Chain A
Amino acid sequence: MTNTELKQSRDLLHQQVEAILPEVETVIGWTQGYDPIHTTPTFVRDAKAISRLTWNSFCSQNLTGYLVKTPAIQPQDRAKKIAVCVKGCDSRSLVALIQEKFVSRDSLYILGFPCQGVIDWRRVMQKLPVGNIRAARVEDGQLAVEHDGGFQRLELQDVLARKCLRCAHPNPLIHDIVIGAQVPPRVLIDKAYGDVEELEQRSLAERLDFWRSELDRCMRCYACRNACPLCVCQERCIAETREPKWLTQYMSISEKVFFHFIHALHLAGRCTECGECERVCPMGIPVALMKEGLNKIVRELFGYEAGVDLEAVPPLLTFTPDEAGI
Chain B
Amino acid sequence: MSIANSGSGTVSNQGIKIVGFLCNWCSYGGADTAGVCRFKQPADLRIIRIPCTGRMDPLFAAKALIYGADGVLVSGCHPRDCHYAVGNLYARRRLEVLQHFLPFMGIEPRRFRYTWVSASEGQLWQQVVTEFSDQVQKLGPNPGVGNLLTEEGHR
Given contacts A298-B97, A316-B97, 18 further A-B contacts (CB under 8 A): A207-B106, A208-B105, A208-B107, A210-B106, A211-B105, A248-B5, A250-B149, A252-B149, A253-B146, A258-B67, A265-B58, A265-B98, A268-B94, A269-B97, A297-B104, A301-B96, A302-B93, A321-B80
Residue-wise, chain B 139-155 has the 8 Å CB interface mask toward A (1 for contact) of 00000111111000011
In the complex, are the beta carbons of A252 and B6 less than 8 A apart? yes
Query: Shortest distance in angstroms between A44's beta carbon and chain B's nearest beta carbon?
Result: 41
B108 on the interface (CB 8 Å rule)?
yes
Chain A binder among B18-26, B27-35, B84-92: B84-92
Check A319/B108 contact, CB under 8 A, given A212-B146, A252-B149, A265-B98: no
Which residues of A185-215 are within 8 A (CB) of B? 196, 199-200, 204-212
Check A262 against B6 for contact (C-beta < 8 Å). no
23 sampled A-B residue pairs with Cβ under 8 A:
A204-B106, A206-B106, A207-B106, A208-B106, A210-B106, A211-B105, A248-B7, A250-B6, A252-B148, A252-B154, A258-B63, A258-B66, A258-B67, A258-B145, A261-B59, A262-B59, A265-B58, A297-B100, A298-B97, A301-B96, A319-B89, A323-B92, A323-B93
In the complex, the answer to whether A326 meets B93 with C-beta atoms within 8 Å is: yes
Beta-carbon contact of B106 and A268 below 8 Å: no
The distance from the CB of B33 to the nearest CB of chain A, in whole angstroms, is 26
Query: CA A238 – CA B59 in complex, angstroms?
Result: 11
Number of interface residues of B (CB under 8 A): 36
B106 close to A209 (CB less than 8 A)? yes
A261 vs B59: C-alpha distance in the bound complex, in angstroms?
Answer: 7
CA distance A34 to B3 in the complex (A): 50
**Does A157 lie at the interface of the complex (its beta carbon under 8 Å from any beta carbon of B)?**
no
Q: How far in angstroms is the closest Cβ of chain B from A262? A: 6
The residue that B104 contacts in the complex, of A199, A255, A256, with Cβ under 8 A, is A199
Residue B42 at the chain A interface, CB threshold 8 Å: no
- Interface pair B93/A254, CB less than 8 Å apart: no
Q: Does A290 contact B (CB under 8 A)?
A: yes
Interface residues of A, Cβ cutoff 8 Å to B = 196, 199-200, 204-212, 246, 248, 250-258, 261-262, 264-265, 268-269, 290, 293-294, 297-298, 300-302, 315-316, 319-321, 323, 326
Known: A250-B149, A253-B146, A255-B6. A264 touches B101 (CB 8 A): yes
Chain A residues within an 8 Å CB radius of B7: 248, 250
Q: Tell me whether B15 is interfacial, beta carbon within 8 Å.
A: no
Tell me the complex Cα distance, A208–B108, Å.
Answer: 9
CA gap between A268 and B95 in the complex, in Å:
11
A206 to B103, CA, bound (A): 11
Give min CB distance, A244 to chain B, whole Å. Answer: 8
CB atoms of B86 and A290 under 8 A apart: no
B124 at the interface (CB under 8 A from A): no
Q: B97 to A246, Cβ gap below 8 A?
A: no
Determine the chain B residues whose CB is within 8 A of the CB of A302 once the complex forms: 93
In the bound assembly, the distance between CA atoms of A301 and B95 in angstroms comes to: 12
Contact B97 A294 (CB under 8 A): yes
Give the docked Cα–Cα distance between A294 and B103 (Å).
11
A258:B62 contact, CB within 8 angstroms = yes
Closest chain B residue, CB of each to CB of A300: B100
| Nearest Cβ on chain B to A142's Cβ, whole angstroms | 35
Complex-state Cα separation, A302 to B90, whole angstroms: 13
Assess the A265–B62 pair: CB atoms within 8 A.
yes
Q: For the complex, give the distance between the alpha carbons of A88 and B45 in Å.
A: 49
